[in-house]
Amino acid sequence: MKKLVSFLMIFCLLLGPANLTRGAESPNCRQLENIFKTGVKQEDGICRLEFIRKNIPVSNLGIQLLPETIELAFGANFQQAGNQSVVIGEFALLVPEVNRVIDALRKGNIEVSAVHNHMIGENPQIIYLHFQGRGDTEALAATVKAAIGAASSAGTLKLN
């Protein structure tokens, strides 16, 4: 009996926090999986999307950095709020991509809330763009997807 209880405790610990699921369980998250053609993490009613930009080598302080180290990604969190959704996100962009991405977000009525750097002296320079919007889930997702597509080196993500 002790072995069974110990096994169950270890099994539960390996599964991780109870509020985090690896697949999309909510209809909203499943809808986003279909739009973005990728897995969506669901946590406490939030559908989390993240596309790591592994195709851009970045160095800082003379050291080649992994994309995860500097949050070199396209990230968006969607939350259902009544009959509409809210999206809040952050994109790590190359300087030439910034205006094209801003244009794509604004075209879909998503507000740009911040544009700034996280580091000094990285090569190439990375600009972080934050955004927010509310409305229909499908329309918001289409706008976010178009904004990712507006980034010139996002082609390796294969967002269809």
- pLDDT over 60 (residue 15): no
Q: What is the pLDDT of residue 42?
A: 95
- For the cut 60, the answer to whether the pLDDT of residue 5 exceeds it is no
Would you identify the CATH topology of the domain 20-157? Yope Regulator; Chain: A, (3.30.1460)
Contact at 8 Å (CB) between 60 and 70?
A: yes
pLDDT at position 152, please?
72
Whole-prediction pTM: 0.81
User: In this predicted structure, which of 114-118, 129-133, 152-156 has the lowest mean pLDDT?
Assistant: 152-156
Helix (H) or strand (E) holding 81: strand 73-81
Going by pLDDT thresholds of 50, 70 and 90, the confidence category of residue 75 is: very high
How large is the angle between the packed helices 137-150 and 98-107, nearest 10 degrees?
160
pLDDT at 10: 36
pLDDT at 160 over 50: no
Alpha helices in 61-152 (DSSP H): 98-107, 137-150
For the residues 67-76, what does the mean pLDDT come to?
96
Q: What does the pLDDT average to over 90-99?
A: 97
